[in-house]
A and B are shown apart, each in its own frame.
Chain A
C-alpha cells in the first residue's frame, strides 16, 4: 500500500476546487497553483526513486484487491512522464502569470489548468482502463473550457470543432470499452493482458484492439489529425503551449500502454497498422510544415511529425526503440511547449503571423533569437540537446527490427523539421530588421524567463541523459516485458495458474 501514488491526481483537484473560492484573489491563485505543481514534481521524483527500489508499485483504492477494484500503478514510464509533464505545466503557468491577463485569471483559468493536469497525471498512473476513460474526460472537459475561454469568433468556431471531435472520440472509446468488457470480462489492464494472452490471436480481440487504435489516434493526432492544426492555433499562447505539450502526449501514452501491455498477441496486424499510420502521419506532417506560411500552422504540423515519429518507435517495438520512445516523449513535451511559446512571442512582438512579414528579429531581441535557435536544434535532434538520444535509440531499434522504411521516413522527417524551422529562423530572425528602435515592443525579461527555463530543461535532458538512463531503461524493460507489470498488479504466482488452465 502506497498512497503516495494517488497524490499527483488528488492534490491538483483539491487545489483547483479551493481556487474556485479564491476567484478574486489572483495573487493567491498564482502562488497556490505553482506550489501545487511544484509539490507534484517533488512527489514524482520521490516515486521514481521508490519505483527503482521496490519495482512497479500500486495502490488499490479502498483496499479492493485487483482485478475487482480500481487501482493506480506507478512504473518508471508513467512516473517519468508525470515528472516532465508537471515541469512543463509549471513553466507554462509561469508564462501565463505575465501574459494571460486578469480577465482569464478571474474566469477560473488556474483551476482549469490544474484540473487538466490532474487528468493528465491520472491518465498516466491509472491501471484500470475504465478509469483511464474517466481521467481522459477530466482532462478533456478542462481543455474544452480552456480552449473556449475568451470567446472570439474564430476561437469559438475552432473550439466547437474540437469539442465535437473529442466527444465523438470519447463515445467510440466507450463503445470500445463495452466490446472489451463483453469479450474479455475485465477492465483491469493487467488482467486484460493476461486474458488476451490466454486467448491468443483471437480475431475478435484484434478488432477490439483496432477500435482502441482509432480512439487513441484521434486523441494523439495520429493520422486522424484533421482537427489539430486548426484547434491549436486559436487559444492564447500559454494555453496552446500546454495543449501542445500535454494533450497529444496522453494519447500517445495510451497507445503505448495499449499496444505494449494489452493487445500484444496479434502484432502482425496491430503493429503493422501502427507503423503504416505513423509513416503516413510523418509524411502528412512534413507536407503541412513545408507548405505553411503561418508560424502557428508550421508549429502545429511539427507536433504531428513528433507524434508520427514516437508512434513509429512503438510500431518497431524492440526494447531499444521503446527506450527511444520514452526519451523522445519527454523531449517532445519540453520542446513542443518551447515551440509554441516561441511562436506566441514572435506574434506578440510583431503582431504578424506570416513568416514573410517578419524580419530581422534577432537584431531587436538577440537573446530570444538564440533561444529559438537552441529550440530548433533540439527539435531537429542535434547533439547534445535532448532530441538526439531519442532519435538514435529509435533508429537503432528500427535497424534491429529491420523496419528500414520507418527508419528512412523518421530521419527524413528530421531534415524537414529542421528545414521548416530554419525557414522561420532565416526569414524572421535574420535579414533586414523592419522594426525600428522606436517601434520595438519591449520584451521584458520575465516573459522570456519561461522559454529560458525550457531551454535549460532541454539542455539538461540532453546532457544529463546518462543520469536518466537507468530510469529510462527500467521503463522500457517494463514496457517490453508485460509480465513485470502483471506480476506487480496481480501478485505473481497466484495468477499463473489461470494462464496454465
Chain B
C-alpha cells in the first residue's frame, strides 16, 4: 500500500525555506550571539534530511547533485585552510582577523576571516550528517 504523503510534501515545500533561512540566520548570528557554523550546519542539514523524507533520494539528487562526502571534505579544507593561512602572515597558527568596511547600501559592516572558518565547519556538518543519514537509509 502506498502511503499518501500529500500533506507532508506540501508542507515540506514551504517549511524547507523557513528552515534554510533559520540555518543561515543562525550561522551569521554565531559571530556575536548563540549560533555559529556547527548549529547552522545542523539546521541546514535537517532541511535536506526533511527533503529526503518527503521525496525520495533520486528526486532530491536531481536537484542537488553533490557527493556529500566531498562537501564534508571541502568544509574541512576551508576550515584548515584559514587556520594554515595564518602561517603565511607570520602570526600564530589559527589567528583570525577582522576589518570594518563601508558597504554602499548597508553602511559600516564587519568582515572577519572567522566567517570563512565557520563556513567550513557548516559545510562539514552538512556533509557528515547527510552522509550518515544516507548510508543508514541505503542499506536495507
A interface vs B, CB < 8 Å? Answer: 1, 3, 6, 10, 13-14, 17-18, 20-21, 59-63
Contacts and interface: CB of A to CB of B under 8 A. Distances in A.
Contacts of B70: 20-21
B24 interface: no
B76 interface: yes
Given A14-B84, A20-B69, A21-B70, A3 B92 contact: yes
B92 A61 contact: yes
A18 B93 contact: no
A63 B95 contact: yes
A20 B80 CA distance: 15
Interface of B: 69-70, 73, 76-77, 80-81, 83-84, 86-87, 91-96
Pick from B69, B80, B81 the residue with the most CB of A within 10 Å.
B80
Contacts of A60: 92
A10 B83 contact: yes
Contacts of B69: 20
A14 B85 CA distance: 12
Contacts of B93: 3, 6, 10, 59, 61-62
A348 B128 CA distance: 37
20 contacts: A1-B91, A1-B92, A3-B86, A3-B87, A10-B83, A13-B80, A14-B80, A14-B81, A14-B84, A17-B73, A20-B70, A20-B73, A21-B73, A59-B93, A60-B92, A62-B92, A62-B93, A62-B94, A63-B91, A63-B95
B95 A10 contact: no
Contacts, number: 42
A224 B96 CA distance: 43
A17 B76 contact: yes
Cβ-closest 7 pairs across A and B: A20-B73, A62-B94, A61-B94, A62-B95, A6-B93, A63-B92, A17-B77
B113 to A, nearest CB: 11
B91 A10 contact: no
Pick from A1, A14, A62 the residue with the most CB of B within 10 Å.
A62
Contacts of A3: 86-87, 92-93
B interface, by DSSP: helix, strand, loop or mixed? helix
Contacts of A10: 80, 83-84, 93
A63 B94 CA distance: 8
A66 to B, nearest CB: 12
Nearest to B78: A17
A17 B70 CA distance: 9
A80 B95 CA distance: 28
Pick from A14, A17, A18 the residue with the most CB of B within 10 Å.
A17
A290 B70 CA distance: 49
A3 B92 CA distance: 6
Contacts of A14: 77, 80-81, 84
Contacts of A1: 91-92
Contacts of A6: 93
A20 B86 CA distance: 24
B122 to A, nearest CB: 16
B131 to A, nearest CB: 12
A62 B98 CA distance: 13
Contacts of A63: 91-92, 95
Contacts of A20: 69-70, 73
A416 B37 CA distance: 55
A189 B95 CA distance: 22
Nearest to B96: A62
B77 A18 contact: yes
A491 B77 CA distance: 34
A59 B93 CA distance: 8
A61 B86 CA distance: 10
Nearest to B77: A17
Pick from A18, A60, A63 the residue with the most CB of B within 10 Å.
A63
Given A3-B93, A10-B80, 11 more contacts: A1-B92, A3-B92, A13-B76, A13-B80, A18-B77, A20-B70, A21-B70, A62-B86, A62-B95, A63-B91, A63-B92
Pick from A3, A6, A10 the residue with the most CB of B within 10 Å.
A3
A61 B82 CA distance: 13
Nearest to B69: A20
Contacts of B92: 1, 3, 59-63
Contacts of B86: 3, 62
A14 B87 CA distance: 14
A62 B117 CA distance: 13
A1 B91 CA distance: 8
Pick from A20, A59, A60 the residue with the most CB of B within 10 Å.
A20
A18 B77 CA distance: 8
Contact of A17 (B80, B83, B96): B80
Contacts of A17: 73, 76-77, 80
Contacts of B95: 62-63
B53 to A, nearest CB: 27
A256 B124 CA distance: 35
A113 B126 CA distance: 24
A20 B74 CA distance: 9
B17 to A, nearest CB: 31
A60 B81 CA distance: 18
Nearest to B91: A63
Contacts of B94: 61-62
Contacts of A61: 92-94
Contacts of B77: 14, 17-18
A157 B73 CA distance: 29
A1 B86 CA distance: 12
Contacts of B91: 1, 63
